[in-house]
Amino acid sequence: MNKNFFKKSILLSLALSVTIISTTLKTFTRSSQTNLARARQKSTLSPQELLYSTYLSKIYQTANLYAAGLNEDVFAKAVTGFYNLKNTTSLNDHNSIITIVDFTKSSCVKRMWIIDLQSGSLLLNTWVAHGQGSGDDLPNQFSNIDSSHQSSLGFYLTGEIYNGKHGRSLRLDGLDENFNTNARQRDIVIHGADYVSEQTIKNLGRLGRSFGCPAVAPELTQTIINLIKDKTVLYINGSDNRYSSKYLDQDLAANYLFPEAAMHGPLQAML
């Protein structure tokens, strides 16, 4: 992925600081502090943490994700998983699309975001349904079990496109053991559904619900599928304290993105 645009932006930001390596968290914006909760307890940031925190904040601000309702901690988790997967799987190097679904939010709000990390742009923000077994308006139960009709949390890769009972749909492969790895056998897919609409919200006070699929509005289905096909990363966030993922290794993500920082410092790593 070509990261030069954001590397130059980060370089400019850091150049404004008198002491770069020993800068404390107090000199960062509120959004930078949010990104690295672990680093709040440190007096200084490592070169990788410094660069990675600033990188996340730059994209979050450039894409105007706060205004779009995306929580920055959720964004940071999703991006961290994206770069963990870049490091451990054969993701397409030229594909910089990430999809985030936040099921801590009401179904009445637009809780799906499709973001291009390379350009730092929000491509789409829209409604998405959760499984009927997960709850009414606000899902609070999640499962990897067949016939539970519940949504599953975690990281996915988008699979092949097919035509099924919901028309053109997109298969998903779950990557988090015990949380979503049964997605394919459960037929958890991206598909269009009439109950995902503003009119349904007006009639029911919430969206309609699926059998566990992240269903979207019919008029946007093809746009969404075309944006996120070809093994892009989908991250579904939710309120389940049991959830954990090996893909949430922030050090690995920072080292992948800025491999030269440990040896040469943050400024040289961006040159």
- 177's CB contacts (< 8 A; 6+ apart) are none
Q: Which residues face 154 on adjacent strands?
A: 236
Burial (0-12, 13-18, 19+ Cβ within 10 Å), 147? exposed
Please name which of 255, 238, 250 lies closest in space to residue 101, comparing C-alpha atoms: 238
Which pLDDT score is estimated for 15? 42
Residues in the chain: 271
Q: What angle do CA 270, 4, 254 make, to 5 degrees?
A: 55
* Cβ(63)–Cβ(120) below 8 Å: yes
DSSP-assigned letter for residue 193 = -
Distances from the Cα of 228 to the Cα of 114, 200, 256, 269, 270, angstroms: 8, 25, 23, 31, 29
Asked whether the beta carbons of 45 and 17 are under 8 A apart, the reply is no
Q: What is the pLDDT along the chain (271 residues), one digit of tens a residue?
A: 455 555 555 544 554 432 333 333 333 334 444 454 554 444 467 888 899 999 999 999 999 999 999 999 999 999 999 999 999 887 877 889 999 999 999 999 999 999 999 999 999 999 999 999 999 999 999 999 999 999 999 999 999 999 999 999 999 999 999 999 999 999 999 999 999 999 999 999 999 999 999 999 999 999 999 999 999 999 999 999 999 999 999 999 999 999 877 555 554 544 4
Q: Quote the pTM value.
A: 0.85
pLDDT of residue 93: 74
pLDDT score recorded for residue 263: 56
Q: Residue 221: what are its φ and ψ, rounded to 5°? A: -55, -50
Least Cα distance to 247 among 152, 176, 150, 149 occurs for 176
Whole-number Å distance between alpha carbons of 33 and 176: 27
**Nearest-CA neighbor of 231 among 175, 180, 176, 156?**
156
The identity of residue 82, as a single letter, is F
What is the structure's pLDDT at 10?
A: 55
Q: What is the pLDDT of residue 20?
A: 34
CB 155, CB 81: distance < 8 Å: yes
Strands (E) located in the chain: 97-102, 112-116, 121-126, 154-164, 167-174, 189-190, 233-237
Cα–Cα distance measured from residue 96 to residue 78, given in angstroms and rounded to the nearest whole number: 12
SS3 131: strand
Tokens 């040159």 belong to residue = 271
Phi-psi region of 78 (alpha: psi -120 to 50; beta: other; left: phi over 0): alpha
Contact 156, 173 (CB under 8 A): yes
Q: What are the backbone angles phi and psi of residue 253, rounded to the nearest 5°?
A: -65, -45
